Structure 1
């Protein structure tokens, strides 16, 4: 992934309210490359991780 593309994804993720994606896009792309994932599998990974982070955050706030 080029640096320009990574920066564009980070900016878009921030605007969409996807902070975990913005912070970890390089890790996601590395994992996708290693696993030779297709586009749909990569998208599934990213969205599942973002949802898990949100659910965890909501759970922790509920405990407070």
Structure 2
């Protein structure tokens, strides 16, 4: 998984926002996802590319 992480440009991650709420995202190294706490969604990163589609996001359950 670390190989894929190294392909994601940290500057790109700083620019991305949640497409639903336009809020900040945090990176989860454990799941290799971008997390939107306000939307309770986790956006996957596949082959170093963040998939910023609401339809592809995983709902975060409590």
Q: TM-score range by the shorter chain?
A: 0.3 to 0.5
Please give the TM-score of this superposition, normalised by the length of structure 2: 0.35
- Answer 1 or 2: which has greater helix percent: 1
Q: Which is higher, the Rg of structure 1 or of structure 2?
A: 1
Please give the TM-score of this superposition, normalised by the length of structure 1: 0.35
